[in-house]
Amino acid sequence: MNRHAGPMETSALGWPYLLRRHWQRLLLVYGLAVGVLAGPAYTMYVHYDFSHSPDTRSYLSVARGEFRGVSITRRYRVLVPAVAAAMAWPLERVYARVWPQRAASEWPLRLAFYVVNTLVLAAAGLFWYRSSRCYGVTRESAALAAALVLSSRWAVYTAGLPMVDSLYLLVFALGFYAAVSHSRAALVACILLGPLAKESFVFLVPWLLVFGRGAGRWPVQLAWLAVAGALTLAVRHWIDAGAGTPASASVHNALSHFENVAYSLGRLFSVKGVGEMFSVFGFATLALLLVPAREWARPLGWAGAMLGAVVAVHMMLSGELARMAYLMAPAFTVALALVLTRVQRAAQTRL
């Protein structure tokens, strides 16, 4: 008996059937994303040497509610640490039974960060997949492209460690998806999460105002930006009050990032810098050479080019070239999916 419904049968089954199939596919892609990340990220979580990483120590402190002594650059990024702290409480009970010697240490909190970051970054991968589908690529190509991008060493680093980059990558994924699909929900989620994910979200705002108009015109975007700004200011005021830090310190800290531009440029135009750039997406980058560049660059258009400019600003100001370059993942996934679709269809034609 044929278990697959044909076109007439599908039409007869109606929207409930189609909707169920849609969600099943999305869950399958999300499960694939989690599966790609979970194993390598677990190794990173277990074996990483935290002693020389001020970033991870800062976010562990934020998760414990300890803001004094934490860098101003990182102390306001509270969403991921807060969720990890909430998850760590039940994990401590498990640790007490399985690894009693670790229960009173940071291991439960580190494990919670690993779980939260893996799930959040997998969600970003799901939106990379959905964005690719908006360009008419095949499901197989979109899923494979997202999986290849999630295999980057920076994805493993982001998912396995007490960091907050996973949420910022999700913000970029939501923003790009909102622009290409005209999804109002994705746009609102991007705007509300963005300022709390990282302060540098301000550089993505002009891109959203231009390319996200299909999801929400300027009055709508500005209204939601006002809500997000008020929420962010309230959180920052609460943290500053607890840490005993004047609000002016945040402004001075933000301006100090411009001092990184000369260092970033020197690092970029060096042999090591070229190697760093190649490491962002690894050998998947070479797949773009399989077809003429216009076949993936033209569909991305000005939205892809300007997103690259936004990412370049992040790279220059942070000094972390490769890690910030990974923010280009939404557009790179689309480009890779377009190439894979072209190759897939060419192979089918030959057969």
pLDDT value of position 257: 59
pLDDT value of position 33: 97
* Separation between Cα atoms, residue 196 and residue 210, nearest integer Å: 22
User: pLDDT tens per residue, the chain (351 residues)?
Assistant: 333 444 444 444 566 766 788 888 999 999 999 999 999 999 999 888 777 778 888 999 999 988 887 888 788 999 999 999 999 988 877 776 776 666 557 888 999 999 999 999 999 999 999 999 999 999 999 999 999 999 999 999 999 999 999 999 999 999 999 999 999 999 999 999 999 999 999 999 999 999 999 999 999 999 999 999 999 999 988 888 877 676 666 655 655 556 677 777 777 788 887 888 888 998 899 999 988 999 999 999 999 999 999 999 999 988 888 899 999 999 999 999 999 999 988 887 776
CA 41, 47, 53, 59 dihedral sign is positive
pLDDT value of position 213: 95
**Amino acid letter for position 351:** L
- Chain centroid to CA 19: how far? 26
SS (H, E, C) 102-134: CCCCCHHHHHHHHHHHHHHHHHHHHHHHHHHHC
Is the backbone of residue 65 left (phi > 0), alpha (psi -120 to 50) or beta?
Answer: left
| CB-based contacts of 303, cutoff 8 Å, min separation 6 | 176, 179, 180, 207, 211, 331
Q: Which residue has the tokens 């959040």?
A: 120
pLDDT value of position 246: 67
End-to-end, the C-alpha distance of the chain in Å comes to 28
pLDDT value of position 65: 87
Which stretches does DSSP call E strand in the chain? none
Please return the burial class of 19, using the count of CB atoms within 10 Å of its CB with bins 0-12, 13-18 and 19+: exposed
pLDDT value of position 346: 82
Q: Does residue 300 contact residue 180 with C-beta atoms inside 8 Å?
A: no
What percent helix, strand, coil does the chain show, rounded to 5?
80, 0, 20
**Amino acid letter for position 277:** M
pLDDT value of position 50: 73
